[in-house]
Amino acid sequence: MKIKKGSKIIFFGDSITDAGRTRPVGEGLFDPMGKGYVNVVTGLLGASYPELHLRPVNMGCSGDTVRRLKARWETDIVALKPDWLVIMIGINDVWRQFDMPEIVEEHVYPDEYEKTLNELVSKGKKIAKGGLVLMTPYYIEPNRKDPMRATMDKYGEIVRKTASKHKVIFVDTQAAFDKILKELHPNALAWDRVHPNVTGHTVIAKALLEAVDFKF
């Protein structure tokens, strides 16, 4: 596996990462990782690679956009000194354009999204010497012509391009869900097509672990 012994891994993102994690820092006792994919990843890493003594830390924050990740970068990334950094952001950058169309100051359009993401990845590579993982945002909707799905795909392409530019690990979270959607209706994975149940979170966890050469 690509993640080496003793690595501190920070998961940075929105509510999908947050999933009810402990405040102010998501680590320690009493289910600190929340109920999402970070918790699934933590359990599988600990059960499969106990000899590595890895240190996952959940720093997701519900409602975040890439703009808000930038705002808390110093306190939540620089100060915590990760060896690995996992970033999944973009759902709210897109969603606010659809559920709050009039509140334009909350919208993060593609140009800002790409510029800010590039900035964070560039800085993140200098801090997380072990590695950096970029995961696409997603919308659990098989109809690619659906306006929100089509927009989310554009942001996913920005993530793909950014990962390629910086030569970091890329995870196509949307593609992982698309595979499952051939068999399951979106309602079987997420009531709002965004916040997954345990099956949906496991889809995300599996895609991430495969990208770092986890041996199932």
- Catalytic choice (7, 14, 15, 64): 15
Told to judge if 164 belongs to the known catalytic residues of this protein, a careful annotator would answer no
Q: Which residues pair with 56 in a beta bridge?
A: 9
Helices (H) and strands (E) in the chain, counts: 9, 5
DSSP letters along 121-132, please? HHHHHHH-SSEE
Told to judge if 14 belongs to the known catalytic residues of this protein, a careful annotator would answer no
Report the candidate in 54, 155, 21, 82 with the shortest Cα–Cα distance to residue 73.
82
Q: Cα separation of 95 and 138, whole Å?
A: 10
Q: Are 90 and 137 in contact (CB under 8 A)?
A: yes
- Catalytic choice (62, 153, 172, 195): 195
Told to judge if 122 belongs to the known catalytic residues of this protein, a careful annotator would answer no
- Catalytic choice (31, 99, 192, 213): 192
Catalytic residue positions? 15, 192, 195
